[in-house]
A and B are shown apart, each in its own frame.
Chain A
Amino acid sequence: MKRKIPVLITFVVGSVLILSVFFPPIETWGEDFSIFFDIIAVFAFFLGGGNLLRIHTKKAIKRQKDWGFSIVTVLGFIIMLIAGLFKVWNDGGIAGDVAAPGSLFQMMYNWIFTPLGATMYALLAFFVASASYRAFRAKNVGATILLVASFIILLGRTPLGTYVTGWIPKSLSIFNIPDLAIWIMTAPNLAGQRAIMIGIALGVVSMSLRLILGVERTYLGVDNE
């Protein structure tokens, strides 16, 4: 029974979601199921928050390795929770908007959380450089084509590309680096991406059918028949 009920729920919900696309009278059923998911996800959030607190409190109390980070995590969690829940320094009081300007929650979000997130995102620039360095080594024909294509795109997206090949007449515009960069992006690159996307769409259909029909059950933690 523990296995059959989830498979049955998956079958009913999956079938309704598909049928609701084609049959207008049951159109809203699909939306309703999505709302059910959101409700369940809200309850699950308590589990997540609880798990975070439990793991880090235990780590800090037992003075396990790197316990200092756990104290920062727990304090950050509790302070942010109190600031949001009790609307600390909020002009509108407890009934005011949680993100009202001047509130502790908003200040912490704007001046601590956002810069920290932006810092992590900014690391991407350096990682792109290091990954490109490895990926664009001309070890074989494929990698060499990749290197040449990336070099053209790089030049084409900077003023240098126009500066170097801007003099080429319109009739030979394919040799103009910015135009060549646009062609690479809109023809071979787009064609490759579309091929991947068609494959993904077919994969999703196949996977969804396996789930709906109960052929695939490993996500339930059980072997298929």
Chain B
Amino acid sequence: MKDYHRPQLLFQIFILPLVVILSLTSALTAQEQPVIPADSIIHIPAPTSNVVAVDYVYDRGETVELTWNLSPDDTIGGRIDGYELTRIEQSTGKMDTLEVIPAGISYYKDDKLTHGHKYAYLIRSVYFGAKSSPVSSNIITPSIEIINWRLANLFAIAFILCGSVIYFIAHAKKGKKLFIRKIAGLEAIDEAIGRATEMGRPILFVPGINDMDDVQTIAGITLLSRVAKVVADYDIRINMPVSRSLVMTTARETIKEAYIGAGRPDAYNDDMVRYITDEQFGYVAAVDGIMVRDKPATCFYLGAFFAESLILAETGNSIGAIQIAGTAQPAQLPFFVAACDYTLIGEELFAASAYLSNEPKQLGSLKGQDVGKFVAMIAIVIGVLIATLAELTGSSSLENLSEFMNRLFTIVS
């Protein structure tokens, strides 16, 4: 009895589920394969219509925009895969198949053209390899424009900002006294360097992890110049590990000039600035190691920082260094604020050099910057008021005005 039931039990436990699983798998696999409709072999999709090529304005004469009406077959679940685009250069007759635009799309931007040449386009509807008859566009010659009027609003804003900066620089040259608010982080620089002098320990200067093409790095280097002068005067050791070779050469020049200026060129040493690596966390590991081994009295973090900001600042905090940080990366500012003694927030980093120089011309540029802030504040208040009133009253003229304000401060590339 027992032996009789064993094969049946085996079948129930193993074979039956196995068969079910295999059947389901093959069924699912079959679903994934494309199903070719029976009529696809003979069905030729209906062609598009109204193919229009227009010159893309405000460019270097290299772009044309193409639009067309969708094929009548281009409906949801309709019998069309896409539209095959062919470009014809009129002077040579050369034909280039561009790409197949998916169904439902009736726009293409061709930006691989040569200014002054004549082009036309052919569009064919495609469905499982079957193509409709081609529909031709008009002949178009992409033209070059001198001014990008699309950016007129940006130009106006830039003009006001730059104009006010230049005006106040010229104004300051005449000897007019300008009021600039105190920046605590910058006032503390001398105190921080003084602390290193008293303790006889080095200063660590970290200029961020970006290259010299980042304005934050340049701002950091301008501050290095001020720091290096005091360092040279008081004969303190400065250690500057960098993650970019160009920053290394620039920083060396800056420190060297500071030592020459202080009348102590012999005290300058190239090894004060040393290259570590371009790799973000490799650099962080090396700088952390330097901090823990050398225990600098003062740490400066001035430049572009990313995920490494808190790792550096917390390590500096753990060794008891006085820390001054400055960056224009908004996401990293909270970390520096939490872990450092002083933080230069965004614009303060850029203002630092001008502030410390105390030169009228440089201070004038800061005053010009304030005009920009004033304009921004006025625009925000007016914009918020108009948008709120438009929402409350439902007035179409206020909505249009709100839309205009929005467009005025939106940059279209």
Contact = CB atoms under 8 A, between A and B. Distances in A.
Contact of A120 (B146, B165, B257, B281): B281
Interface string B255-299: 111100100000000010011111111101100010001000000
Interface string A107-145: 000000100111011011001101110110000000000
Given A123-B311, A203-B351, A206-B165, A221 B146 contact: no
A68 B121 CA distance: 68
Given A196-B346, A202-B161, A216-B354, A47 B213 contact: no
A116 B338 CA distance: 26
A208 interface: yes
Given A127-B314, A196-B345, A206 B338 contact: no
A209 B226 contact: no
A198 B369 contact: no
B338 A132 contact: yes
Interface stretch (B78-86, B103-111, B177-185, B329-337): B329-337
A199 B281 contact: no
B314 A44 contact: no
A152 to B, nearest CB: 16
A168 interface: no
Contacts of A118: 281
B248 interface: yes
B169 A215 contact: yes
How many residues of A sit at the interface, in one of the four size bands?
Answer: 35 or more
A219 B215 CA distance: 11
Interface stretch (B5-13, B44-52, B198-206, B359-367): B359-367
A158 interface: no
B265 to A, nearest CB: 12
Given A44-B249, A134-B338, A219-B225, A24 B144 contact: yes
Interface residues of B, number: 87
B337 A224 contact: no
Interface SS of chain A: helix, strand, loop or mixed?
A: helix
A220 B253 contact: yes
B133 interface: no
A69 interface: yes
30 contacts: A21-B148, A24-B145, A34-B213, A45-B245, A47-B245, A47-B248, A113-B279, A117-B282, A120-B281, A121-B307, A124-B310, A131-B313, A134-B338, A198-B373, A199-B345, A200-B328, A203-B351, A204-B350, A205-B372, A207-B219, A207-B350, A210-B365, A213-B169, A218-B221, A218-B254, A220-B253, A221-B253, A221-B254, A221-B257, A221-B258
Interface of B: 58-60, 144-148, 151, 154-155, 158, 161-162, 165-166, 169, 211-213, 215, 218-219, 221-222, 225-226, 244-246, 248-250, 253-258, 261, 271, 274-282, 284-285, 289, 293, 307, 310-311, 313-314, 328, 330, 333-335, 337-339, 345-351, 353-354, 357, 359, 361-362, 365-366, 368-369, 372-373, 376
- Chain A to chain B: the 8 pairs with minimum beta-carbon distance, closest first: A221-B257, A48-B245, A203-B347, A203-B350, A44-B245, A48-B275, A135-B338, A120-B281
